[in-house]
């Protein structure tokens, strides 16, 4: 199955127009930025898993997470995965979650 960028699906033309219209509202801007960052993280997790040539089922066998949980981590923007599950997933693909100071420009 080809990789799908959920940001592009959700950020359709109407959503992009709303983003432009409300981009000066700090609360809306923060929510949009947070959503984009969540989508980026999900996309990077999928890319890392695929670069390791691993399936969701293989990740499940290593971690004990169900394929359904792994799928939700990778694609479902309505469900926020637990930090614990993100750390378990990242570890299974040879990564770790880190905290990095953002560049405020």
How many domains does the chain contain in total?
A: 1
Q: Mean pLDDT, to the nearest integer, of 38-42?
A: 87
Asked whether residue 37 is assigned to any structural domain, the reply reads yes
Asked whether residue 100 is assigned to any structural domain, the reply reads no
The position carrying tokens 């929510």 is 31
The pLDDT assigned to 10 comes to 54
Find, among 70, 69, 36, the residue nearest to 50 by Cα.
Answer: 70
Q: Mean pLDDT, to the nearest integer, of 22-48?
A: 84
Asked whether residue 38 is assigned to any structural domain, the reply reads yes
The residue range of the domain holding 61 is 6-92
Asked whether residue 104 is assigned to any structural domain, the reply reads no
Q: What is the CATH number of the domain that holds 42?
A: 1.10.260
Asked whether residue 28 is assigned to any structural domain, the reply reads yes
The pTM assigned to this predicted structure is 0.71
CA distance 84 to 5: 24
56-101: pLDDT as tens digits: 999 999 999 999 999 999 987 677 889 999 999 999 999 998 888 9
The pLDDT assigned to 61 comes to 96
Higher-scoring residue by pLDDT: 23, 11: 23
CA distance 94 to 105: 32
Q: Is the pLDDT of residue 23 over 90?
A: no
Confidence of residue 15 (pLDDT cuts 50, 70, 90): low
CA distance 39 to 3: 13
Cβ proximity of 17 and 11 under 8 Å? no
Asked whether residue 72 is assigned to any structural domain, the reply reads yes
């Amino acid at each position: 199955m080809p990789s799908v960028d959920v940001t592009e699906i959700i950020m359709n033309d109407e959503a992009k127009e709303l983003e432009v219209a409300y981009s000066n509202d700090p609360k809306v801007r923060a929510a949009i930025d947070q959503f984009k960052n969540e989508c980026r993280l999900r996309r990077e997790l999928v890319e890392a898993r695929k670069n390791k040539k691993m399936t969701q089922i293989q990740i499940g066998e290593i971690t004990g997470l169900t394929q359904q949980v792994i799928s939700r981590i990778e694609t479902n923007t309505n469900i926020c995965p637990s930090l614990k599950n993100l750390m378990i997933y990242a570890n299974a693909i040879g990564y770790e979650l880190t905290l990095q100071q953002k560049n405020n420009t």
